[in-house]
Chain A
Amino acid sequence: MDTVTRRRFLKLTTGAVAVGAAAPLLSIDQIAQAAIDRPLPAGTPILVIVTLYGGNDGLNTVIPYTDPIYFSSRPEISYKAETLLPLDAELALNPAMKGIKALWDQKKVAIIRGVGYPDPDRSHFSSMAKWQTASPAKHINTGWLGRWVDTQSDDPMLAISLGSVLPPLLAGAKRSGSALPLGGLVIPKGSLATECLQLSKPSRKDSKLMAAAATSMRNLFNLSTSVQPVLKAPAPVSPDLPTTNGGNAGGDSNLAQQLDVVAKLIAAGSPTKVWSVSLGGFDTHANEANAQAELLGVVSDSLSRFMGQLKATTRSNDVTVMVYSEFGRRVVGNGSQGTDHGTSGPMFVIGNAVKGGFYGEQPSLKNLYKNDLAVTTDFRDVYATVIEKVLKSPIEPTLGKWSGRINFL
């Protein structure tokens, strides 16, 4: 019904996003000039992060359709084998994921199985914080890509999240990514613009939060100068937004629209190496089957359309998409035609440069770990691979010493 289109999870329990230190004193003119003058060099790899908020049920996403335990564990919410989209003799995709299946057939999809972290946490907020900070053992308030932003030269266009609220993922210690609203930017003009720019100047008297408020105004002008013309192009119609049961654990609802904007900006040469988009609603404690299928359909259709849009650009080989959720769900259904919070789940990495196929071990349904799916792959293996192979950066400043890699790129 009425209003919400932007739903965004944010870490709540022990402190929100880190506050970036006071931004360096660049003049607006310098930044605006830079944004216009230096499009992303051709061939520069681009990372698109898709966050599924609420805990996507991995077992009904990549489905062990020949394992009788799958059917006996969740009779009310298991899929009939003949409706599924088989990937091999053991695993099949949810029937709603035809678009991703087509990309899989073109060998552009890596599915990493059993991904999680040690000692799984079943709280949405803690678990999502662990994924976004890449620090499962200890609470910290910088995101893994925020720390990567810290290692790069200052550029508000470098990492951009779609929507008005910045996810912890992009919060660094010194700097953060920028947030870009959907539907274009309307910026002040004339003397009001001059005075808004005056307000965006740092002041010696600023507290950290006031400095951040000033910076947000500065970034608005900067983004608007280079992004505005692109966003003015007509936006494709977004599909009906799912209004489902699983609506209480955050995330945006208009994934297709977010990806449309990302596709346009990539095509226009925005000097952005990291994009963050999201979809919420995966917290399917009740009446899961339809709700999750609808959401997976949105993910699959939006991503296949996004990959299609990129074909029309010179950058289709440069883009890698990574899809994750904060946890999978229980193997056994809960009696409300749903599932409660679980542990590991599959991740998807999609792109022309990706070596399609399965990676990581499929968690056994027979040998559960404390009644839940085992974690067979640490998400930091995936992050480390992405940092090195896509962002072409050393992993230490972002993840510390981490030896695990996965050979999907």
Chain B
Amino acid sequence: MAVKRVYSHPMNIQRLETSRLFNRFGFGPRPGEFTEALKNGVAQTRTQLLTVPAVDAGAAAVVEPEITDLGRRPAANSKEILPFAIAMRFQSQQMVMWWLDRMALSDNGLTEKMTWFWHGHWATSIQKLNYPLPMFKQNQTLRTHSLGNFTTMTKSMLNDGALQFWLDGHESTVKAPNENLGRELMELFVLGVNRYTEDDVKSISRVLTGYQVARSNGDVTINQNRRDKSAVTLLGTTSAFTGDSVSEFLTAREDATTFIAERLWYRFISSTEEMPATFSAKSAFASRDIAAAVTAMANDSAIRDERYAMVKSPVEWFISACRALELTPSKLKTPNQLLNQLDKLGQVPFNPPSVGGWPAGEAWLSSATAQYRIAFATWLIKQSDLRVLNELPARQRVLKSADWLGVAEWSPRTQAALRRSINDPKQFALLALCSPEYIVNA
């Protein structure tokens, strides 16, 4: 297929595609990987990035934190409240650091990238729950199914304590069904908005009654006395659904194919341009095999199409910088400062702003984020030895830094800024990390 050329000097398509594969199906290249990939060619690079190893040595080296059931919250002002609050804070922080480390240190980035995608999809925040263990369990569930079967994932998520609590599932009973979970299940998780009626919302809310959640550990049980066991009519089908059967019913619908394809398009290909009807992830998702859809997406001609630039979200930007700068998130000084930096940019893992997940595209490009990004990058660079940059002869830095950072190409504008900074590695790195070409994956 002919690629639409919008610039007078066409971009090197191999560099573009390689840059996209690294940044969209992982969290960007580590030093040397981009140059190596250019030598290997796009086909081999794609296969390599899409092949999840049986054991990922980089990820396996990240020590799993001990997240425990903290039990009932002690009364305010009691002497137990202080150790409780300290443990909660410590464990929550450990959990975020653990996940960021996995993102930054995995040899193959796909699993963590997909877990990250699903976290934004089934967006659950620790803010309301206020206990780390259920969030930790949810994260493991998302990772287990991240490239698996979507129907199985949906069943597991309905039995996920963090999601149930977040959307008031535990409050929903036969006497008084609560619509929060049922509505979002159809709107945001499986079908997409307006692909059901308000009556369907009422029906599914009756199906999803009776769940009980142990808040401190996320254990889910079903109280049959609180459950509505009667038949309901949902999207034209009348049945006495259960959580499992309603998951099967919803995920089997054609609208689920469209919706998940749309979400993949929006997060991996373009948040600004419409998904074309021919997007190959859609047909590949007919089996509900997530890995098949992801593979199809990575092979789709859209991945070579210059129209589909993507803004890196703050976490993606930060992790890709860590990989280039050879930094380990949990070792940065200090974890609190790191969380503060991420919060200022508006994105902290386990803490999405709403059940709709994080925004995308130009929302990350305000004058305020420009300021915070500069401060964040300065803080990171201070903690890096800038090995790669220092090892490059000054006159090669402008050109070779694009490979180092996985950038398709520097614009003449950015080259000018970098060229004037070749003898100041810190400033050079800062400008590169805050350049439009690094913030936006071409």
Contact = CB atoms under 8 A, between A and B. Distances in A.
Interface in A218-254: 219-220, 222-224, 243, 245, 247-250
B366 A13 contact: no
B435 interface: yes
A1 B127 CA distance: 7
B362 A248 contact: no
Contacts of B363: 8, 10, 16-17, 165-166
B353 A250 contact: yes
A366 interface: no
A335 B226 CA distance: 12
Interface string A4-48: 111111111111111110000000000000000000000000000
Contacts of B7: 204-205
Contacts of A1: 88-89, 92, 126-127, 130
A318 interface: no
A210 interface: yes
B413 A199 contact: yes
A59 to B, nearest CB: 17
A206 interface: yes
A264 interface: no
Contact of A335 (B178, B344, B355, B436): B178
B346 interface: yes
Nearest to A330: B179
B322 interface: no
Interface in B127-155: 127-128, 130
B252 interface: no
Contacts of A247: 125, 127-128
Contacts of B369: 164-165, 179, 216
A115 B200 CA distance: 25
A105 interface: no
Given A210-B437, A248-B128, A340-B180, A220 B371 contact: yes
A370 B199 CA distance: 11
Contact of A15 (B9, B198, B266, B307): B266
Contacts of B414: 198-199, 203
Interface in A263-290: 280, 283, 285-286
A147 to B, nearest CB: 16
Contacts of A12: 188, 356-357, 359-360
B178 A4 contact: no
A186 interface: yes
A86 to B, nearest CB: 31
A213 B128 contact: no
B355 A176 contact: no
B344 A341 contact: no
A213 B130 CA distance: 35
B64 interface: no
Contacts of A90: none
A208 B309 contact: yes
- B contact residues, range: 35 or more
Nearest to B374: A188
Nearest to A248: B355
A210 B436 contact: yes
A156 interface: yes
Contacts of B386: none
Contact of B311 (A2, A176, A213, A335): A213
B427 A248 contact: no
A93 interface: no
A4 B348 contact: yes
Nearest to B85: A1
B58 to A, nearest CB: 27
A204 B8 contact: yes
B343 interface: yes
A16 B272 contact: yes
A222 B371 CA distance: 12
Contacts of A14: 193
A368 interface: no
Nearest to B176: A335
Main secondary structure of the interface of A (DSSP, over half): loop
Contacts of A15: 266, 271-272, 274, 361
Contact of A336 (B125, B178, B193, B342): B178
A212 B365 contact: yes
Contacts of B374: 187-188, 196
Contacts of B342: 3
B168 interface: yes
Contacts of A179: 366-369
Nearest to A207: B309
Contacts of B413: 198-199, 201-203, 214
B401 to A, nearest CB: 14
Query: Most A CB atoms within 10 A — which of B180, B360, B370?
Result: B370
Query: Most B CB atoms within 10 A — which of A126, A216, A249, A341?
Result: A216
- A contact residues, range: 35 or more
Interface in B402-442: 409, 411-414, 416-417, 420-421, 424, 427, 430-431, 434-437, 439-440, 442
A220 to B, nearest CB: 4
B348 A249 contact: no
Contacts of A210: 309, 411, 436-437, 439-440, 442
Contacts of A164: 344-346, 366, 368-369, 372
Contact of A7 (B178, B194, B354, B421): B354
B243 interface: no
Contacts of B171: 285-286, 335-336, 338
Contact of A2 (B89, B175, B187, B435): B89
B362 A19 contact: yes
A118 interface: no
A209 interface: yes
A171 interface: yes
B368 A163 contact: yes
B166 interface: yes
A375 interface: no
A207 B306 contact: yes
A99 to B, nearest CB: 27
A199 B417 contact: yes
A342 B348 CA distance: 31
Contacts of B116: none
B285 interface: no
A185 interface: yes
B244 to A, nearest CB: 24
A180 interface: yes
Contacts of A212: 362, 365
A195 interface: yes
Contacts of B416: 198
A178 interface: yes
A336 B411 contact: no
Contact of B431 (A199, A202, A223): A199
B436 A206 contact: yes
A187 to B, nearest CB: 7
A224 B307 CA distance: 33
A181 interface: yes
Contact of B434 (A196, A201, A202): A196
12 contacts: A2-B351, A6-B346, A13-B192, A15-B271, A19-B272, A199-B435, A207-B442, A210-B309, A210-B439, A219-B366, A220-B368, A285-B167
Given A9-B356, A213-B311, 18 more contacts: A5-B343, A8-B346, A12-B359, A13-B192, A122-B201, A125-B188, A165-B366, A187-B374, A207-B307, A210-B411, A213-B439, A216-B366, A216-B369, A217-B367, A247-B127, A286-B171, A333-B176, A370-B198
